[in-house]
Amino acid sequence: MLRKLFIWGNLVLLLVFLAAVVEDLAGPYLPQGWANYQRQYRRMQLAAESNEESRKSIADRPIEIKQILATDLEQVDRCTSCHQGMDSIATPTLHNTFTENPYKSHPGDFLKNHPPEKFGCVICHGGQGIATTFLGAAHTPKDEVQKAEWKRKYGWKPTEHFDRPILAPPYIQASCAKCHGNFESLPGTEVAAKGKELLGQHGCMGCHQWKGVGGPISVDLAEETANKPIGRIDFSHTGLSKEDMNLLNWIRLHFVKDPWEMTPGDPEAKYNTEPIAPSGMQNYTLPSPAYPDKGPELTEDDATALTTYILSARSEKLPYNYYVPGPKDATFADMHFSSRKEAGKWVFDHYGCAGCHGVNAKGGRRNFNYQGGGLEPVLAKTVGNYTRDELRKKLEYGVPVVNKENEKGPTPPLYMPPWKDRISSEEMEALIDYLFSIAEKQEEF
């Protein structure tokens, strides 16, 4: 009996082993295998080539795994095993007339300044360079239509246990901003540039930091958010399907869904010893309090732009000489203002005051369990009641403890930090001028 079991057991193991070998050897020659793509590419090139010598060279080209050793970046990319239009042996000019993936050559002239043998692919596109299968490479569909098509064609699903799938356009612009300090002036990076602009306009930096600079209320968007491992993200309130649970969607959802739904906290202390407020972030799907008659404060395109810019801060091990220096962000002293009001408005935007007090100081943002209805003050309505000295003191020392509406409820997530160490006295005076200039005239008693 045991003897029979031993023989049958070994037979099964042998069959499993043989099946693995067959799959490994035959896989590349299956319709979606890299070897099949190379053979097909060879056929397409032959069909388009009339020169006999060239045809012979194409026909003799071996079918083999291609890889780029981007040594500076410590990266091995095998993408050209399928994408032969970008392989310098199969396509020495790196240009062809094919229009379909994986055969077409790289669009635009990016490779002129980013030679593939030096940069590889992954440094810009993301994905798993060492993989030799469509699924292993962590391809990302650009939209729902492509996703459905890929599912049908390739059985697409996200690559498990891999945090950095390929960035579909326009998110790939994040990679430009990663190295190019001057990305805002480069063609083709408009989305990332818009994201940076929106981050300033909507006052994100009043609460968040960017590489250590900014407000102290919430996380550093560059150091933490952009590099958050998927395993540390709580997707349970996002409504995302498993295949959509990735960092990009997590960031993007903050702008197209109410953050209170995504990060509800525990305001009634059902699961914690102390009540925890939901996210302090605003619901940008609603109109800005400053412009209640307009549409959502952030559009879908704005959300894409912000996500792209935030993703540009993902950490990479890049040699120093891969960075392209850009102009330093302008300081107050660099600026030329036509009026004190304009100077103060610059300070207001630069330090992210709009994050709590709304764009142009016209609308108080929500603050969970904040006394008086959970809305931050509308500065245009309040500053007129301050003297210059009083307002300066308020700005310098902030309001570190805010009152609760419900004493048993959670601490409101937003408070006014002291600004005296961050806003220079010259900037402070300009800011005060600006605030007084927008103060609504109130009727005297």
- Binding positions for another protein, rule: CB under 8 A: 364, 370-378, 381-382, 384-387, 393, 397, 401, 403, 405, 407, 442-445
The nearest distance, CB 201 to another protein, in angstroms, is 23
Output 50 or 387, the one with its CB closest to another protein: 387
The amino acid sitting at 56 is: K
**Residue matched to tokens 């952030």:** 298
* Per-residue burial over 67-103, b = 16 or more CB atoms within 10 Å of its CB, e = otherwise: bbebeebebebbbbbbbbbbbeebbeebebebeeebb
The nearest distance, CB 277 to another protein, in angstroms, is 17
The amino acid sitting at 219 is: V
The nearest distance, CB 387 to another protein, in angstroms, is 7
Output 24 or 443, the one with its CB closest to another protein: 443
Output 143 or 407, the one with its CB closest to another protein: 407
Output 94 or 402, the one with its CB closest to another protein: 402
Output 150 or 386, the one with its CB closest to another protein: 386
Output 66 or 357, the one with its CB closest to another protein: 357
The nearest distance, CB 364 to another protein, in angstroms, is 6
The nearest distance, CB 337 to another protein, in angstroms, is 24
Closest CA to 47 of 95, 98, 84, 94: 98
Q: Residue 438 gets which letter from DSSP? A: H
Output 172 or 378, the one with its CB closest to another protein: 378
The amino acid sitting at 315 is: S
Output 53 or 389, the one with its CB closest to another protein: 389
| Separation of alpha carbons 115 and 425, rounded Å | 49
Closest CA to 411 of 199, 255, 235, 269: 269
The nearest distance, CB 344 to another protein, in angstroms, is 18
364 CB-contact burial (10 Å; exposed 0-12 / middle 13-18 / buried 19+): buried
Q: How many CB atoms lie within 10 A of CB 2?
A: 6
3-class secondary structure, 404: strand
The nearest distance, CB 163 to another protein, in angstroms, is 41
The nearest distance, CB 183 to another protein, in angstroms, is 40
The nearest distance, CB 418 to another protein, in angstroms, is 10
| Separation of alpha carbons 320 and 118, rounded Å | 15
Beta-ladder partners of 266: 276
Nearest 10 degrees: Cα torsion 384, 386, 388, 392: -120
Residue 135, CA distances (Å) to 131, 138, 155, 162, 241 in order: 8, 6, 8, 11, 18
| Separation of alpha carbons 203 and 323, rounded Å | 28
Output 211 or 393, the one with its CB closest to another protein: 393
